[in-house]
A = this chain, B = another copy of it.
Amino acid sequence: MPFTPVAAANIAEAAAAQIRELIAHDVLAPGDTLPGERALAARMGISRTSLRAALQTLTAEGLLISRHGSGLRVAEDTAGGISEPLERLLASTPDAFEDYIRFRSLIEGASAAEAARHADRTARASIARAHDAMAAAVGAGALDAAAWADAEFHMAIVEAAGNVVTIQIARSLQTLMQRGIAQSHAESQDDPEAWAALVAQHTRILAALDAGEAEPARRAMQDHLTFQIALLRQTAARVRQQDLSERRLAWGAEKSAPKARDGT
């Protein structure tokens, strides 16, 4: 007796869905603070009560965090379930790092191509902004800021492509990288020449993007990440070498001055 479909129009749930989608599209990035409840309710054309009901739902889902005097923040987490097994894997198997970059090469190459085809003005602008910030940071020798802008650049391209699933996964991988595992990566890249090369490659990607050339954009992105693999291998080899010489030195030092070390 299939008569009634029934769709209850719940205004709070609609508001929650809207905010959820914004988070998924990374318009609201993890760590961002939302506008105040009063302003938000006004802008959405609903009462603060209903807005709060929506926020309540999202908070229960763990997407938002609210602190009393401060405000509402988008939860840093977002990496739903994907990251934990991966994190263990990458921690235990250094070789997996190359697979990681290959994976990124695939999805970011496709994203670059897609972005070249139909990215809107604001998306292009945020890509360019990240690129400029990175170039400036590298020029100033601020490598922390450069690394941050680097990540921002790549993320902006994925966002410009507009696939919410891809965005979520890229975001997960990025936050995963930024906690713990990346230190070897970051520490290996204190070479100014390498940074300059990376910036040049970014410039090439951006040019293809702005020209609307999909395939060149993809190729530029993939070349860029392939270069990173090479860089990685090279520094990994050097680290081993360096490690050896350091141990040799340490051994010499210990031999000449056998002191006790603090255990804990």
- Which residues on A are within 8 Å of B, measured CB to CB? 1-3, 5, 8, 12, 16-17, 20-21, 23-24, 49, 52-53, 56-57, 59-63, 68, 78, 80-82, 84-90, 92-93, 96, 99-100, 102-103, 106-107, 110, 163-166, 168-169, 172, 176, 243, 246-247, 250, 261
Residues of B within 8 A of A68 (CB): 8
Closest-CB distance, A99 to chain B (whole angstroms): 4
A78-B85, A80-B85 known; A93-B57 Cβ under 8 A: no
A56-B60, A85-B63 known; A250-B168 Cβ under 8 A: no
Which of B16, B24, B99 contacts A164 (CB under 8 A)?
B99
Residues of B within 8 A of A23 (CB): 85
In the complex, are the beta carbons of B59 and A168 less than 8 A apart?
Answer: no
Residues of B within 8 A of A172 (CB): 81-82, 85
Closest-CB distance, A67 to chain B (whole angstroms): 8
Considering the chains assembled together, what is the distance between the CA atoms of A166 and B107 in angstroms? 11
A53-B56, A93-B21, A166-B99 known; A1-B62 Cβ under 8 A: no
Total copies of the chain:
2
In the complex, are the beta carbons of A246 and B52 less than 8 A apart?
Answer: no
Considering the chains assembled together, what is the distance between the CA atoms of A63 and B250 in angstroms? 44
In the complex, are the beta carbons of B103 and A165 less than 8 A apart?
Answer: yes
Residues of B within 8 A of A176 (CB): 81
Residues of B within 8 A of A61 (CB): 60, 85, 88
Closest to A253 in B: B1
In the complex, are the beta carbons of A165 and B96 less than 8 A apart?
Answer: yes
A165-B99, A176-B81 known; A3-B250 Cβ under 8 A: yes
In the complex, are the beta carbons of A60 and B60 less than 8 A apart?
Answer: yes
15 sample A-B contacts, Cβ–Cβ < 8 Å, listed by A number: A17-B92, A20-B85, A21-B93, A24-B85, A24-B86, A24-B89, A24-B96, A60-B61, A80-B85, A81-B84, A81-B172, A82-B168, A99-B163, A103-B165, A106-B106
Closest to A21 in B: B93
Closest to A62 in B: B85
